Amino acid sequence: MTEIPEHLLNRSKARRESASGDGASGASPAVAASSTPAAATPAKAAEAPKPKAVVPDPAYVVAAKTRRKIPFWAMSALSLLPLWAGVYLLALTPEDKVVEGPRSMGTAVYSGCAGCHGADGAGGAAGQVLYQGSVLKTFPHIEDMLNFVYNGSQKFVAAGLATYGDPNREGGAHRPLGYNGNPMPMQGEKAGGGLSEYQILAVACHIRYDLAGADPEDEQWAAEYETWCSPESEIFKALQSGATSFDTIAKDFAMLETKPREVGTEPRLGSSR
Ligand code: HEC
């Protein structure tokens, strides 16, 4: 037990006496006289100012006060939210092209040909018919088509060549400038055109397999498709990287099961199947 210091006891005694004096002044002297000091003391003591009661916090306030606040690292994580939003949107954006390769690239290149040959290859006053197997009859071998597109009609005329493509084409071989006298403009860079060799291959693949109706599954075209136009085509990749060229393709890929023929960048006669 703690000893209460003497001076505090004295002070409280003095207070009690002064308080009982005040209380007695209001009461009748008889009552005051009859009450014994022993009985009065506890009653007066109860009136002494109590220390202010400390009301304990309710449980939920205690919980709120003691709960850990947002951890410091969470703020930096939260500030990155806009970035996550961007990443999320990127992840949601579907790929434009499912199959990347010569055909899909060729679709874009063909926009430069469609003005004369028609969007679907139906041809018109300014450009030959390509669709419905027509161009496949002219060029049973894709190599001959690449050479003709590279050079265009006028280079063939200048080289003194009377025909292009299959000389035994059903209905007669095609003659340069034989289509209403309109020229097929040169496309290859060395011939003065604007297309790289891999772009010429790409557009040829698009024309043959998307417009003219060659079926990659058909055994007539399966080997050509694999070698030249499939997304895995080694030749296409090598043309793109510059590892091969129309002038060297035949020897660069001589090891293939379906050996490519010469393409070349000089105009030359085509061949039958
Ligand atoms: C200015 C119009 C014009 C443009 C542009 C054009 N061509 Fe031609 N193309 C022709 C004409 C005309 C012929 C017929 C050539 C001839 O008779 O000498 C032809 C012929 C062809 C042939 C031979 C078809 C056959 O069966 O005889 C192919 C293949 C061809 N073009 C592909 C293309 C490609 C690929 C492009 C785009 C990179 C293209 N052309 C852009 C006018 C055009």
SS (H, E, C) the chain: CCCCCHHHHHHHHHHHHHHHHHHHHHCCHHHHHHCCHHHHHHHHHHCCCCCCCCCCCCHHHHHHHHCCCCCHHHHHHHHCHHHHHHHHHHHHCCCCCCCCCHHHHHHHHHHHCHHHHCCCCCCECCECCCCCCHHHHHCCCHHHHHHHHHHCHHHHHHCCCCCECCCCCCCCCECCCCCCCCCCCCCECCCCCCECHHHHHHHHHHHHHHHCCCCCCCCCCHHHHHHHHCCCCHHHHHHHHCCCCCCCHHHHCCCCCCCCCCCCCCCCCCCCC
Q: How many angstroms does the Cα of residue 145 sit away from the middle of ligand 1?
A: 10
- What band does 22 get if pLDDT is binned at 50, 70 and 90? low
Ligand 1, closest atom to CA 203?
35
Supply the residue whose CA is at minimum distance from atom 37 of ligand 1. Answer: 113
User: Is the model's pLDDT at 173 over the cut of 90?
Assistant: yes
Residue from 111, 116, 263 whose mutation best tests the ligand 1 pocket (most atoms within 8 A of CB): 116
Q: How many angstroms does the Cα of residue 217 sit away from the middle of ligand 1?
A: 27
Ligand 1, closest atom to CA 145?
29
Q: How many angstroms does the Cα of residue 129 sit away from the middle of ligand 1?
A: 8
Q: In this structure, what token pair is assigned to residue 76?
A: 């930096």
Q: Is the CB of 123 under 6 A from ligand 1?
A: no
Q: Give the span between the Cα atoms of 163 and 146, in whole angstroms.
A: 15
Q: How many angstroms does the Cα of residue 203 sit away from the middle of ligand 1?
A: 12
Sign of the C-alpha dihedral computed for residues 149, 152, 157 and 160 taken in this order? negative
Q: Give the span between the Cα atoms of 224 and 201, in whole angstroms.
A: 12
Question: What is the longest distance spanned by two Cα atoms in the chain?
Answer: 153
Q: How many angstroms does the Cα of residue 189 sit away from the middle of ligand 1?
A: 16
Q: Mean pLDDT for the chain?
A: 87
Q: Is the CB of 155 under 6 A from ligand 1?
A: no
Q: For the chain, give the percent of residues with pLDDT over 90.
A: 62
- What band does 23 get if pLDDT is binned at 50, 70 and 90? very low
User: Is the model's pLDDT at 41 over the cut of 90?
Assistant: no
User: Is the model's pLDDT at 179 over the cut of 70?
Assistant: yes
Supply the residue whose CA is at minimum distance from atom 25 of ligand 1. Answer: 135
- Torsion angle (degrees, nearest 10) of CA 149, 108, 213, 240: 60
Supply the residue whose CA is at minimum distance from atom 15 of ligand 1. Answer: 184
Average pLDDT for residues 237-248, to the nearest whole number? 97
Q: How many angstroms does the Cα of residue 218 sit away from the middle of ligand 1?
A: 26
Q: Is the CB of 128 under 6 A from ligand 1?
A: yes
Supply the residue whose CA is at minimum distance from atom 5 of ligand 1. Answer: 113
Domains of the chain: 102-252 (1.10.760)
CA nearest to 118, candidates 134, 103, 105, 102: 134
- What band does 267 get if pLDDT is binned at 50, 70 and 90? very high
User: Is the model's pLDDT at 224 over the cut of 90?
Assistant: yes
Supply the residue whose CA is at minimum distance from atom 8 of ligand 1. Answer: 184
Measured in degrees and rounded to the nearest 5, phi and psi for residue 124 equal 180, -170
User: Is the model's pLDDT at 26 over the cut of 80?
Assistant: no
Ligand 1, closest atom to CA 177?
18
Distances (CA, A) of 260 to 110, 165, 191, 224, 251: 24, 16, 22, 9, 8
